[in-house]
Amino acid sequence: MDIVQMLVVLAVLVLLVKPLGTYVYHVFSNEQNRLDRVFGGTERLIFTLIGVHKREGMGWKKYALSFMATNLILVAFSYVILRLQHALPFNPNGMGSLEPTLTFNTVISFITNTNLQHYSGESALSYFSQMAVIMMMMFTSAATGFSVAIAFVRGITSKGKTLGNFFEDFVKAHTRIFLPLSFIITLVLVALQVPQTLDPTLTVKTLEGAMQQIAIGPVASLESIKHLGTNGGGFFGVNSAHPFENPNPLTNVIQILSMWALPAALPYTFGLFAKNKKQGWVVFSAMMCLFLVFLSVAYTSEKTGNPAMSALGIDASQGSMEGKEVRFGIAQSALFTAVTTAATTGTVNNMHDTLTPLGGLVPLGEMMLNVVFGGKGVGLINMLMYAILAVFICGLMVGRTPEFLGRKIEPREMKLIAVAILAHPFIILVPTAIAFMTELGHGAITNPGFHGISQVLYEFTSSAANNGSGFEGLGDNTPFWNISTGLVMLFGRYISMIAMLAVAGSLMRKQTVPETIGTFRTDNKLFAALLIGTVLLIGALTFLPVIVLGPIAEFLTLR
């Protein structure tokens, strides 16, 4: 039954790819279509309000400046709200002001779509902060990522001088995708028992006569955008493991699909933009192959369980249940873990710190590769970056100028791609090393031995991949961790985004090379295999040593 339920979810996902990918294409193709009649009026009103009249196309620099400026302003507003939340409305539980370095970490975390949380929502944030900062940034950061991905796709698939208008993309991502979908999913989740209220924390007298406090709030409206926007920050400290956030297996499946469907549909959208659907499916299958390997490892490892626990003589046949919820069991937990780090959402329905060593290697590995579906748009950008790299390596081997989608790949693009690809391991491994050299860093470790190495490594990998899940035992709400992970999240998000917009800007201006019999095709199985090979080769070369020190060593020594 475990295998069956995972396959059902996978099948539904695959069925969603085509309709959703087509829909997204129509949203951003800027050709007239039926959707304009539904959304056009609202959008015209919004464009008037924000003072965008002509919506002329932007070059890559202007596009990058526009999204950076918008994000910067959102960060500034949010910082002020969190610091002043004690004086603002909707604060029935009387939460005080948030500490400065924690506020810095939180606003960076949410604007970069990471949602790493060094606070616990139920004990640190007012309902106003949950809504006006957390939910708001869950929308705006997802819309930003989506817009940049679409701009990149436009750049590498079309010829001209502009990547589109950032403000138009940003508005449409809200009005046509995130707001309507979030509203519908919110209501479905409430129907399935996720609370949505502005009442303060409840106090009840339990069956045994003790008093129990139950934190509650506007949970459902956060859950829906948390997953749709691949954000991942929980209303409560334990995120989607909390029975109010994720009360039953059905809500679990809805959450899995809502975080996974859009990233999975984007390669198809890319295929439509490239006027070559096969090209989209090649990218999709490369992602799916990698995903299936990760999912199998996670499920098998968790089902096999922890040998140290089995040795106690209990009935451990269910698998490793430490840190997991009974309603989800092993299958729904393993699937959720594999999807949340593939889609770089970072929401968790079980505690990743308690995963078996190889089970914990799965989320870590997916975030290190950062191309298995990926968050709002970023995964597709990264995968296409590897596609260009694969083309380049193949071109070198046969001695031809590499081409991708009919454009010549030249030194300028390869330099930018090298920067983007090398930045990721750099901002993971260097801070990890620094953390181990100072008491401020390794003092936060709570699990002894090799697992402690994984805890620190996971925190920075999650920050760099803009995932946001954690090996949550780590005592990370200190100025050292708040500032260091804050910076890693910033670099992780913006370096690759800007570099890839620059690549798009440069490819867009090139003459297309006519396709001949000697053209190296990028829309067939061979290329899918080469793509997977390139991803694994680069990933293994950079991360194998540190993985051996953490999860592998723990696996080999656990008896």
Partner 1 sequence: MNEYKNEDPRSSRLSAITVPLRISLLFMVICGIIYPLVSTGAAQLLFPGQAAGSLIKDQTGQVVGSELIGQSFTDPKWFQGRVSSIDYNAAGSGSNNFGPSNPALIERTAASIEAWKLQNPDVPVSELPIALITNSGSGLDPHITPQSAMVQIARISKLTGEPADVLKQLVEKHTEGRDLGVFGDKRVNVLKLNLALSAILGE
Q: Which two tokens stand for residue 287?
A: 């992602």
Provide the pairing of β-strand 211-214 with 403-404.
unpaired
| Residue (145 or 425) nearer to partner 1, CB | 145
Binds partner 1 (CB under 8 A): choice among 99, 169, 476, 554: 554
Answer yes or no whether residue 303 interacts with partner 1 by CB under 8 A: no
Rounded Cα distance, 500 and 148, in Å: 9
Residue 349 backbone phi and psi in degrees, to 5: -110, 5
| Residue (127 or 386) nearer to partner 1, CB | 127
Q: Which residue shows structure tokens 């790819």?
A: 17
| Residue (326 or 397) nearer to partner 1, CB | 326
Rounded Cα distance, 447 and 457, in Å: 13
Q: Cα angle at 487 between 482 and 493, to 5 degrees?
A: 125
Alpha-carbon dihedral angle through residues 349, 480, 120, 374, given to the nearest 10 degrees: -30
Rounded Cα distance, 5 and 11, in Å: 10
Rounded Cα distance, 406 and 514, in Å: 7
Number of residues that bind partner 1 (CB under 8 A): 132
**Binding region for partner 1 (CB under 8 A) out of 26-34, 128-136, 420-428, 523-531:** 128-136
Residue 382 backbone phi and psi in degrees, to 5: -65, -40
Q: Which two tokens stand for residue 432?
A: 């990890």
Residues 6+ apart with CB under 8 A from 303: 2, 319, 330, 334
3-class secondary structure, 403? strand
What residues from 142 to 171 belong to the interface with partner 1 (CB under 8 A)? 161-162, 167, 170-171
First and final C-alpha spacing in the chain: 29
What's at 62, amino acid-wise?
K
Nearest approach, Cβ of residue 520 and partner 1 (Å) = 33
| Residue (267 or 452) nearer to partner 1, CB | 452
Nearest approach, Cβ of residue 326 and partner 1 (Å) = 4
What residues from 225 to 284 belong to the interface with partner 1 (CB under 8 A)? 225, 236-238, 241-244, 247-250, 252-253
Nearest approach, Cβ of residue 426 and partner 1 (Å) = 27
Binds partner 1 (CB under 8 A): choice among 63, 104, 119, 139: 139
What residues from 470 to 509 belong to the interface with partner 1 (CB under 8 A)? 471-473
> Is residue 361 within a helix (H) or strand (E), and if so which, with residue range?
helix 357-369
What residues from 508 to 537 belong to the interface with partner 1 (CB under 8 A)? none
What's at 295, amino acid-wise?
L
Nearest approach, Cβ of residue 123 and partner 1 (Å) = 6
User: Residue 339 in contact with residue 259, Cβ under 8 Å?
Assistant: yes
What residues from 389 to 418 belong to the interface with partner 1 (CB under 8 A)? none
What residues from 7 to 66 belong to the interface with partner 1 (CB under 8 A)? 8, 46, 49-52, 56-57, 59, 61-62, 65-66
| Residue (155 or 319) nearer to partner 1, CB | 319
Binds partner 1 (CB under 8 A): choice among 31, 37, 87, 308: 308
Answer yes or no whether residue 386 interacts with partner 1 by CB under 8 A: no
Q: Is the dihedral of CA 33, 35, 37, 43 positive or negative?
A: negative
Nearest approach, Cβ of residue 323 and partner 1 (Å) = 5
| Residue (133 or 420) nearer to partner 1, CB | 133
Number of Cβ within 10 Å of residue 89's Cβ equals: 10
Nearest approach, Cβ of residue 36 and partner 1 (Å) = 20
| Residue (136 or 483) nearer to partner 1, CB | 136
The mark string for 325-364 relative to partner 1 (x by CB under 8 A, - otherwise) is xxxxx-xx---------------xxxx-xxxxx-------
Number of Cβ within 10 Å of residue 151's Cβ equals: 29
Answer yes or no whether residue 322 interacts with partner 1 by CB under 8 A: yes
Nearest approach, Cβ of residue 545 and partner 1 (Å) = 20
Question: Which residue from 373, 392, 411, 413 is spatially nearest to 501, judged by alpha carbons?
Answer: 413
What residues from 63 to 82 belong to the interface with partner 1 (CB under 8 A)? 65-66, 69-70, 72-74, 77
Rounded Cα distance, 481 and 441, in Å: 7
Rounded Cα distance, 328 and 332, in Å: 5
Rounded Cα distance, 472 and 273, in Å: 40
Q: Which two tokens stand for residue 154?
A: 């436009």
Nearest approach, Cβ of residue 274 and partner 1 (Å) = 24
| Residue (204 or 433) nearer to partner 1, CB | 204
| Residue (237 or 479) nearer to partner 1, CB | 237
The mark string for 436-465 relative to partner 1 (x by CB under 8 A, - otherwise) is ----------xxxxxx--xx----------
Dihedral-angle region of residue 487 (phi above 0 means left; psi in -120 to 50 means alpha; beta otherwise): alpha
Nearest approach, Cβ of residue 502 and partner 1 (Å) = 14
What residues from 171 to 230 belong to the interface with partner 1 (CB under 8 A)? 171, 174, 179, 182-183, 186-187, 190-199, 201-202, 204-208, 210, 212-216, 218, 220-222, 225
Nearest approach, Cβ of residue 312 and partner 1 (Å) = 6
